């Protein structure tokens, strides 16, 4: 007999690992539809199977909690049962010996308190009262409500122009979103239960890059109504497009030299080529939209007299200060200032400079990668939390590292060192990560001495602010620097004035700004006394069941790091024809199978 044995992975372990992976994929899909009561019961049952059985709260308590939840689902419960569920969950949370028990109790307690109305509906009506999503998961996950299964089917059928037409029913900027959208729709893709979520953004980009012919949208008859849109970013452009399609005369007022807002002055050319952006904007303007660039709106009341309605979409173009000693030194600039210069095709020279970038979002990654392209000798991204806590997308972080940027996590800036008024370094304090605060793990000062990172330039990338002051002085209601609006995007107390986008929501994503413009256009149209419909004008291919063959996701590739970091040319390669068709064929067509035809019908017009 051997004294010890080499641990080997048994067949049973391999099967269990595959089951764990399948469970992980199913949970990662983040389904928007399940009943909270059923979901909580399933979760508690799963936790009960993980119990080691050594403590009574976990071994007995979770089984008792499971039985109580089943009583609710099987119509055997009353109000007393709900109180007992809450007390049982709280007892497990407070008395279980280990995380297996008390985390399960905590989650059940969160559910019974957060979804009390749904539990009560089960008790009183013996049915689920949860208002389930009326759309398939990817469409529910898209802020603009784009018909994703529809345009994927058109890509599969090689009808790329029709795919773009379908996208533009809800999103007039398909090219922009094909290149830079954060694709929240993919988080909900049910294909992730099988293998990997669909590459929805990649298919959108393929469609816009391979349109067979150009086309023009169907335009309604002229109404004689005039609308002013203040701001030419994604929200303003979207609102202007739909109002123009509805027959209204639209004029965009833009304070800067060119339209695009943060699409131009916040996203570098290597992610969104300006010539492609210009082409998409011009396509929108060709719908009959007038433009006045280099025109800052100073008098809202005078503008309102000249137009039947006004839409404020001024964005968030002011920088935020850290308030650090030495922040006024020569060599300190904001990310907004730097990206604005790049948007105007002005490229500062960072040759032989060491650059520190403060921040952990996509903007911080953009300025760090741009600094590399501007000739910086070394770029260090300084972040007070962990890399895992960064709000930047994973691919942006990986891209920055591949191009030579150093990521210095858990270091909080405390001062900017200078000599004779010029930056010489960034003083930082080491941090140690702590507990949750406002949904994120918060750092605290570590027991370590301060350090100085030598550098000649510091770029502050901690977010943008809104230039709401001038409008607030004219009576526009604002709260914490953001314009306040009603659910119809109307500004309270100001007849005919609407607002949306970053100036109303705070800095957000492109697709959310597009949605803001779309919503405002529909409500402005109603305010002007009309009810124009933007409708689906393409025939979709018939749905075919293709089976359940597993197939991995096709990813878009990047130019080699050493090559791409030397210029501002586009870094991402689109899908090939073979990849696009294979990827489109992976769609499970949830709009037909499993969810019915959008649970009540495809949204053909809005």
Distance (Å, whole) CA 150 – CA 309: 34
Beta bridge partners of 428: 413, 451
What's the confidence (pLDDT) of residue 303? 92
What is the DSSP annotation of 107-175? HHHHHHHHTHHHHHHHHHHSS------SS-HHHHHSTT---HHHHHHHHHTT-HHHHHHHHHTT-S-HH
Residue 600 zone, left/alpha/beta (φ > 0; ψ -120 to 50; rest): left
- Per CATH, 21-125 and 319-464 having the same topology is answered no
Q: How many CA atoms lie within 13 A of 201 on its CB side?
A: 18
pLDDT of 274 reads 95
CATH entry, 21-125, from 1.20.1440.230, 3.30.1360.120, 3.40.50.720, 3.20.20.70: 1.20.1440.230
- Quick one: 226-317+466-528 is in which CATH superfamily? FAD/NAD(P)-binding domain (3.50.50.60)
Predicted local distance difference test score (pLDDT) of residue 337 = 92
Contact call for residues 332 and 460 (beta carbons, < 8 A): yes
439/450 Cα distance (integer angstroms): 28
**Residue 96, pLDDT score:** 87
Give the tens place of pLDDT for each residue, 198-256.
Answer: 999 999 999 999 999 989 999 999 999 999 999 999 999 999 999 999 999 999 999 99
Q: Does domain 319-464 have CATH number 1.10.10.60?
A: no
Q: Is the dihedral of CA 132, 138, 144, 148 positive or negative?
A: negative
Cα separation, 526 vs 488, in Å, equals 10
Question: 378-382 and 290-292 as β-strands: parallel, antiparallel, unpaired?
Answer: unpaired
Query: In which residue ranges of the chain is pLDDT below 70?
Result: 1, 30-33, 130-135, 547-548, 594-601
What is the β-pairing status of strands 497-499 and 482-483? unpaired
CA distance 363 to 361: 5
Domain boundaries, the chain: 21-125, 137-172+183-204+536-598, 226-317+466-528, 319-464
Residues 82-89: contacts with CB under 8 Å, at least 24 apart: 82/112, 82/116, 82/119, 82/120, 82/123, 85/112, 85/119, 86/112, 86/113, 88/61, 88/64, 89/65
User: What is residue 601's predicted lDDT score, i.e. its pLDDT?
Assistant: 59
Q: Please, are residues 91 and 61 in contact by the beta-carbon 8 Å criterion? A: yes
């Amino acid at each position: 007999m051997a004294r010890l044995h080499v641990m080997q992975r048994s067949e049973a372990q391999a099967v269990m690992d595959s089951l764990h992976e399948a469970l992980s994929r199913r949970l990662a899909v983040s389904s928007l539809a399940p009943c909270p009561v059923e979901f909580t019961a399933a979760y508690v049952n799963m936790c009960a199977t993980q119990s080691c059985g050594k403590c009574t709260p976990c071994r007995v308590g979770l089984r008792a909690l499971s039985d109580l939840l089943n009583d609710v689902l099987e119509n055997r419960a009353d109000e007393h049962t709900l109180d007992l569920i809450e007390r049982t969950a709280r007892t497990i949370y407070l008395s279980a010996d280990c995380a297996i028990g008390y985390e399960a109790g905590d989650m059940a307690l969160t559910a019974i308190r957060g979804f009390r109305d749904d539990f009560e509906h089960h008790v009183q009506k013996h049915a689920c009262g949860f208002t389930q999503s009326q759309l398939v998961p990817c469409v529910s996950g898209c802020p603009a409500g784009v018909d994703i299964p529809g345009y994927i089917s058109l890509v599969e059928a090689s009808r790329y122009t029709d795919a773009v037409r379908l996208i533009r029913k809800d999103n007039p900027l398909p090219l922009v979103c094909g290149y830079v959208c954060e694709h929240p729709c993919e988080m909900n893709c049910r294909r992730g239960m099988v293998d990997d979520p669909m590459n929805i953004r990649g298919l959108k980009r393929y469609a816009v890059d391979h349109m067979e012919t150009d086309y023009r949208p169907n335009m309604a008859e002229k109404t004689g109504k005039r609308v002013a849109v203040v701001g030419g970013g994604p929200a303003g452009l979207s609102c202007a497009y739909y109002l123009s399609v509805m027959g209204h005369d639209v004029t965009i007022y833009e304070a800067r030299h060119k339209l695009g807002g943060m699409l131009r002055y916040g996203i570098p050319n290597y992610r969104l080529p300006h010539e492609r952006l210009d082409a998409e904007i011009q396509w929108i303007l060709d719908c009959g939209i007038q433009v006045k660039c280099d025109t800052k709106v100073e008098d809202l009341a005078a503008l309102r007299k000249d137009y039947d309605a006004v839409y404020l979409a001024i964005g968030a173009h002011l920088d935020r200060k850290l308030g650090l000693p030495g922040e006024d030194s020569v060599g300190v600039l904001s990310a907004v200032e730097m990206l604005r210069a790049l948007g105007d095709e002005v490229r500062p020279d960072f040759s032989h400079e060491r650059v520190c970038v403060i921040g952990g979002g996509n903007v911080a990654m953009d300025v760090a990668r741009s600094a590399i392209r501007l000739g910086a000798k070394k770029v260090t991204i300084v972040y007070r939390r962990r890399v895992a806590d960064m709000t930047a997308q994973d691919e942006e972080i990986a891209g920055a590292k591949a191009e030579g940027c150093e990521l210095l996590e858990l270091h909080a800036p405390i001062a900017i060192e200078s000599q004779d008024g010029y930056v010489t370094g960034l003083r930082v304090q080491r941090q140690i990560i702590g507990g949750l605060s406002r949904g994120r793990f918060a750092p605290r000062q570590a027991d370590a001495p301060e350090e100085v990172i030598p550098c000649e330039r510091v770029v502050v990338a901690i977010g943008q602010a809104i230039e709401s002051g001038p409008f607030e002085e004219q009576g526009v209601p604002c709260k914490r620097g953001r314009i306040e609006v009603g659910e119809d995007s109307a500004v309270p107390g100001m007849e005919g004035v609407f607002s949306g986008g970053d100036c109303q929501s705070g800095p957000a994503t492109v697709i959310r700004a597009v949605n803001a413009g779309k919503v405002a256009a529909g409500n402005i149209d109603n305010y002007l006394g009309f009810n124009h419909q933007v409708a689906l004008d393409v025939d979709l291919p018939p749905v075919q069941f293709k089976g359940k063959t597993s197939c991995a996701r096709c990813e878009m590739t990047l130019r080699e790091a050493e090559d791409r970091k030397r210029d501002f040319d586009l870094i991402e390669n689109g899908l090939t024809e073979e990849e696009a068709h294979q990827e489109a064929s992976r769609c499970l067509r949830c709009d037909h199978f499993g969810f019915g035809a959008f649970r009540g019908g495809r949204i053909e017009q809005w």
